[in-house]
Structure 1
Amino acid sequence: MSSSSYDYIIIGGGVAGLTLASRLSKLLPRSETKQILVLEAGTDPSKADYILSSTGYHLARESEHAYILDVEANPHLNRRAAQVSVGKALSGSGAINGSAWTRGPKVDYDYWAKLVGDDAWSYDKLLPFFRKTEQVVDGQGEPIAETERDEIHHGYDGTLKVVPMKANHPSRHYPLRETIQRAWEEAGVKYNPDGNNGNQNGLTEMVELWVKGQRQLPSQALDLSRVEIRDFSVVSRITFDHSAGGEPVATGVDLVGGEHFGANKEVILSAGVYHSPQVLMLSGIGDPTVLQKHEIPTVVPNGEVGQNLVDHLAVGITWKLKHPEKGLAIGSPLFNDPSYFAGWPLDFILFGPLDEPGNLEPLIKDAADREFLLRPDASHMEIVTLYAPMGPRLTGIDAAMDGSHASSIAVCLTTTSKGSVTIRSANSEDPPIIDTNFNATETDRYISREALRKATSVYLETETGQSFISHEVTPEGYAAITRDTTDEEIDKRIRDFGYSLDHPMGTCSIGKVVDSHCRVHGAKGLRVVDGSVIPVPLACHIQATVYAIAERVAEWIANGE
């Protein structure tokens, strides 16, 4: 066994871990001693073309740079088992995700701050950290003209190049863009040119991190020159000192294979929503009953570790287009122009409330859920329309890429279904047990149904929608979705085809597992900094939030808070 020591050890070289390491290395006084060590289980993915290219997204999710984790059979989704992919690479899930960039609404962060009793998590207090991560550019990666900037809400010299579709290069102009916009406006949904300024609801521009079809890896975008990084380093446990009495003090980590690293100041766990609670439990922090089952001595009893898992459930729809020349067809001029696949083939994301939020009230079983679901300006649903078919796994339809099909995704954002993550064994190389518990509540089922009905009403009931969409292509044996389709028929579609949108949160929640500065309850010198600390279901693709969390906590650590 070998050993060496650092001031800070960060477990996980993903979005949160690398952002934290980079910012902390700049905030700390320069020192001759080794200060920050990042331990990453995977390796550097930057030489893999499928990682770097937007067209390789699906390959990335199934590659050696991903953990492909089994999800328990779900009784609320017809007992279907599933799989989720998370990053196993330097850059973490930033190496395999879809690179969407959405913050969510102001009201979500203000609710978070109220829930945990700390205004530091309010939208206005987090805004400087959101701006630090952003460098808003056009589709060619060039700066936005100063006259078009909104420096109150956005950053223009931050870590990552952020590309709104409206600022994209003229050559990537999808033929259906204006038609889609008119259909939503005809349905009474206002166009919102900037959904990332705290006011999210409306038909918002897609904002992404793809720049000319290339992924921005955190490991390349961040300055890590003062950080030591070790890949192929799987952590087996965090070690503690109990000699002083009182709360145990985190002293370092043991790796699989026996190597030990000491931490003079803090161990920071940034292993992600599924693996951070696993590492805590393997280290003796968790439900004592679970720990005893696997003969792990209890260091800090806390039954909340691994609980409170939330994610967004999505259902796909396939449309038949009236004018195939406006879709993306193999062999067509559009398909052969690489600019059309330089990111996701879409222009807009609809974020919005329910048309009749009062209908939720009789379905709500819990007072906390009532406050959460009935907030003014909440984003209950998300609807995305792509100019290409999504495939049978997501829609039940194996539609040809011949220009005659498009697809939509309808998403329940304000989920109240909560799942869990726990350990399979005392071996850190065994994957965790994941129970998403999707679709478990009446309110979730109602929101999913209404999101599907909303999508079909816009495209099949408006004059504009009818001008370019012929009909919904339904899986064999399933009813088309309309306002008149019964709840039971729509529920069957959700149970059979609902899937994770890969936005997990909450398994080490602030207020339950960590305090409002992300310090683990009952232990000293130990924090969790990643999406697992998010205590409420945010109505967004959570990548931007995870960057902001890491930026926020880095400042606290540097200030000794």
Structure 2
Amino acid sequence: MAVAGEFDYIIIGSGSAGSVLADRLSADQDAQVLVLEAGGSDRRFWIKMPIGYGRTFFDERVNWKYETEPESAIDSRRSYWPRGRVIGGSSSINAMVYCRGLPVDFDGWEKKGNIGWGWSDVLPYFQRSECRVDAQGNAADGGPLYVSDVTAELHPLRRHFFAAAAEVGLPYSEDFNGTQPEGVGTYQINTYKGMRCSAADAFLRPAMQRSNLRLMTRALAHRIVFKGRRAVGVEFEQDGRIVTAHARREVILCAGAVNSPQLLQLSGVGPKALLRRHGIPVVLDNEAVGGELQDHLGINYYYKSTEPTLNNQLYPLHGKLWAGLRYVLTRKGPLSVSVNQSGGFVRSGAQCASPDTQLYFNPVTYSTAPEGKRPLMNPDPFAGFIISFQPCRPKSRGRIDIRSADPRVGPQIRPNYLSDPEDVANVIAGGRLIQQMVRTQALRGLIKEAIAPDLDGMSDEQILEDFRQRCGSVFHPVGTCGMGPDARTSVVDTRLRVHGLEALRVVDASVFPTITSGNTNAPTMMVAQKAADLILADNKKMETRNAHQKA
């Protein structure tokens, strides 16, 4: 077996969290840092061009392309889960929406016993990353991650959506990442000058200029190596060879909500019966590993429009060519932004104590292509738009478990969607809210006709049945290595150390105690920023203690 060397920190995964940690930990020139990434290079045109994520949706070269087990609550369908298998992880293939979430999300974490993770605690860690870019393209002082206001490039159709929201009494938010995130408005995205700004762009690549940071790509982690209950290294496969890297201080698992629990279980950390069934020696019996899986489910409603939309620009061949030429020459136009242009965080009814529904308004309709046939999105040959919603904080919980001791075999994913009655009620409430909006004067004048199925005449039962038949994941899996003070019901403590083990942490969306209200990329980077402070502080204490013992 080959040996890759000895490092102070080994980070498994170069995604949103791993890239942040690589930057923060390698800032100490005395610390040797290794980053292992199962995928390859992110230097691809379709990754860098914002609208290009439709091209990477089914691209196995950069995407794990996971599927859930058939889910009875959604008409026994499998749900497709794209996850980044590339430098930058899912931040290299996502739709780039940057939303911190709502303060109530993080105050909820703290109420579950996670002291130090309330809104006032985590806000500085969001701010540490962010570099705000205004609508004119001017970047303010701040962190390395560009968070851009791209309203200058957005389609004017959104004014009708805002007017409809006002008619039904929904507030307007100037900034979802500001002091008043509730309401409808325009999404900010992680781009700069018309190019995607992934976590790798912001954090990892600048850090790679340091001699003490090493990135190894196409390195598939097989297992964490333990000496007793202390993590001492990682065994991985690269170029057909099994290689081991040793860790002096810590192994940090940043593989995401699917791969982090998978790797813990492959390493002997998880439910005892599951591990024994696959012939894996048990290092630590913990039923919580892989449990508490949470995800957002959303649905689209399609309408033909009385006004031109992006379809009119991007369906004709000459329109595609013009948009492409404009993008290449100026980095502007519809190819420089996401299709998720407007939306918001709103209350589906007056009884709600806080926003419970996330909305999207997209000035385009498209056909979802069969896998491998063509890009994800092909605009329709008529003017059209989409209104979507997702319940913000689902209560249903699922599991992720290995199906084999072979790390190349994807795990079994069971989200257990809509198993909680409150989630069912929230689906109906969200559908009713969209019904109210499409009946407003603002949208009645914009809608030429609904594209079946037509939400407008549906009863509660029909709203729910339609949701079961057509809903899909919004690709926000979290919670499978959840944070909590109780070692019996959680995987990591509030310092993100794995309960019952030494020198091993999990730092990614899998540690979320509960799902945040919106897109999960921003809070994942926040978690990593806070984790870096925790790791550095803990190791400083250890060094001080060791120095005193030697004295």
- The alignment's TM-score, normalised by the length of structure 2, stands at 0.88
Match of 1:294 among 259, 278, 300: 278
Matched to 2:299, the amino acid is V
Tell me whether 1:10 sits opposite 2:18 in the alignment.
no
Deviation per CA, 1:446-488: give whole Å up to 9, x if none: 21222122123212x211111211332114xxxx223x62222
The answer on whether the counterparts of 2:95 and 2:340 sit within 8 Å (CA) in structure 1 is: no
Name the counterpart of 1:367: none
Match of 1:440 among 411, 419, 432: 419
Match of 1:269 among 227, 242, 253: 253
Measure the CA separation in 1 of the matches of 2:369 and 2:461: 21
Match of 1:342 among 336, 342, 361: 336
Deviation per CA, 1:137-183: give whole Å up to 9, x if none: 13464225xxxxxxxxxxx3211111124xx43xx252323222212
SS in 2 for 1:93: helix
Name the counterpart of 1:510: 483
CA distance change for structure 1 residues 173 and 343 in 2, over 3 Å: closer, same or farther? closer
CA distance change for structure 1 residues 5 and 432 in 2, over 3 Å: closer, same or farther? same
- Quote how far apart the aligned CAs of 1:108 are: 0.8
The answer on whether the counterparts of 1:386 and 1:408 sit within 8 Å (CA) in structure 2 is: yes
Q: Which moved more, 1:514-523 or 1:437-446?
A: 437-446
The answer on whether the counterparts of 1:211 and 1:342 sit within 8 Å (CA) in structure 2 is: no
CA distance change for structure 1 residues 308 and 115 in 2, over 3 Å: closer, same or farther? same
SS in 1 for 2:111: helix
Measure the CA separation in 2 of the matches of 1:491 and 1:173: 32
Name the counterpart of 2:22: 21
The answer on whether the counterparts of 1:326 and 1:403 sit within 8 Å (CA) in structure 2 is: no
Name the counterpart of 1:531: 509
Measure the CA separation in 2 of the matches of 1:62 and 1:301: 36
Measure the CA separation in 2 of the matches of 1:524 and 1:173: 49
Please, which runs of 5 or more residues in structure 2 have no aligned partner?
Answer: 327-332, 371-376, 485-489, 540-551
Matched to 2:357, the amino acid is M
Name the counterpart of 2:429: 450
Tell me whether 1:382 sits opposite 2:379 in the alignment.
no
The answer on whether the counterparts of 1:393 and 1:497 sit within 8 Å (CA) in structure 2 is: no
SS in 1 for 2:295: coil
Name the counterpart of 2:231: 250
- Quote how far apart the aligned CAs of 1:61 are: 2.2
Measure the CA separation in 1 of the matches of 2:382 and 2:171: 28
The answer on whether the counterparts of 2:272 and 2:285 sit within 8 Å (CA) in structure 1 is: yes
Match of 2:201 among 215, 220, 229: 220
- Quote how far apart the aligned CAs of 1:347 are: 3.9
Matched to 2:475, the amino acid is D
Match of 2:529 among 551, 557, 560: 551
Name the counterpart of 2:330: none
Matched to 1:133, the amino acid is S
Q: Which moved more, 1:217-226 or 1:249-258?
A: 217-226
CA distance change for structure 1 residues 180 and 326 in 2, over 3 Å: closer, same or farther? farther
Measure the CA separation in 2 of the matches of 1:276 and 1:436: 16
Name the counterpart of 1:491: 464
The answer on whether the counterparts of 1:282 and 1:428 sit within 8 Å (CA) in structure 2 is: yes
- Quote how far apart the aligned CAs of 1:529 are: 0.2
Name the counterpart of 1:364: none
CA distance change for structure 1 residues 17 and 345 in 2, over 3 Å: closer, same or farther? closer
SS in 1 for 2:388: strand
Identity of aligned pairs, percent?
Answer: 29
- Quote how far apart the aligned CAs of 1:198 are: 5.2
CA distance change for structure 1 residues 407 and 213 in 2, over 3 Å: closer, same or farther? same
The answer on whether the counterparts of 1:324 and 1:402 sit within 8 Å (CA) in structure 2 is: no
Tell me whether 1:279 sits opposite 2:263 in the alignment.
yes
- Quote how far apart the aligned CAs of 1:327 are: 5.9
Deviation per CA, 1:356-404: give whole Å up to 9, x if none: 54xxxxxxxxxxxxxxxx6x32x2111111000143579xxx9963342
The answer on whether the counterparts of 1:12 and 1:38 sit within 8 Å (CA) in structure 2 is: yes
Name the counterpart of 2:110: 113
Tell me whether 1:136 sits opposite 2:132 in the alignment.
yes
Matched to 1:206, the amino acid is Y
The answer on whether the counterparts of 1:281 and 1:291 sit within 8 Å (CA) in structure 2 is: yes
| Alpha-carbon RMSD | 2.1
Matched to 1:237, the amino acid is R
Name the counterpart of 1:200: 181
Measure the CA separation in 2 of the matches of 1:220 and 1:346: 21
Measure the CA separation in 2 of the matches of 1:345 and 1:421: 30
Measure the CA separation in 2 of the matches of 1:322 and 1:196: 33
The answer on whether the counterparts of 1:41 and 1:88 sit within 8 Å (CA) in structure 2 is: yes
- Quote how far apart the aligned CAs of 1:323 are: 2.4
Name the counterpart of 1:162: 147
Q: Which moved more, 1:444-453 or 1:218-227?
A: 218-227
Name the counterpart of 1:245: none
Name the counterpart of 2:73: 76
SS in 1 for 2:82: strand
Deviation per CA, 1:80-113: give whole Å up to 9, x if none: 1132110111111111111000011101101111
CA distance change for structure 1 residues 325 and 42 in 2, over 3 Å: closer, same or farther? closer
Measure the CA separation in 2 of the matches of 1:258 and 1:128: 41
The answer on whether the counterparts of 2:495 and 2:534 sit within 8 Å (CA) in structure 1 is: yes
Tell me whether 1:481 sits opposite 2:480 in the alignment.
no
Deviation per CA, 1:423-447: give whole Å up to 9, x if none: 0111111111111111222211221
Deviation per CA, 1:392-417: give whole Å up to 9, x if none: 579xxx99633421111111111011
Deviation per CA, 1:202-244: give whole Å up to 9, x if none: 11321111334321132232222231111111111111112xx
The answer on whether the counterparts of 2:233 and 2:244 sit within 8 Å (CA) in structure 1 is: yes
The answer on whether the counterparts of 2:401 and 2:413 sit within 8 Å (CA) in structure 1 is: yes
Matched to 2:6, the amino acid is S
SS in 1 for 2:298: strand
The answer on whether the counterparts of 2:42 and 2:92 sit within 8 Å (CA) in structure 1 is: yes
Measure the CA separation in 1 of the matches of 2:382 and 2:113: 49
Name the counterpart of 2:374: none
CA distance change for structure 1 residues 288 and 481 in 2, over 3 Å: closer, same or farther? same
Please, which runs of 5 or more residues in structure 1 have no aligned partner?
Answer: 145-155, 243-247, 358-373
Name the counterpart of 2:487: none
- Quote how far apart the aligned CAs of 1:491 are: 1.6
CA distance change for structure 1 residues 513 and 114 in 2, over 3 Å: closer, same or farther? same
Match of 2:169 among 176, 184, 188: 188
Name the counterpart of 1:402: 381
The answer on whether the counterparts of 1:134 and 1:159 sit within 8 Å (CA) in structure 2 is: yes
Match of 1:417 among 392, 396, 403: 396
The answer on whether the counterparts of 1:175 and 1:326 sit within 8 Å (CA) in structure 2 is: no
Measure the CA separation in 1 of the matches of 2:261 and 2:309: 49
SS in 1 for 2:526: helix
Name the counterpart of 1:307: 291
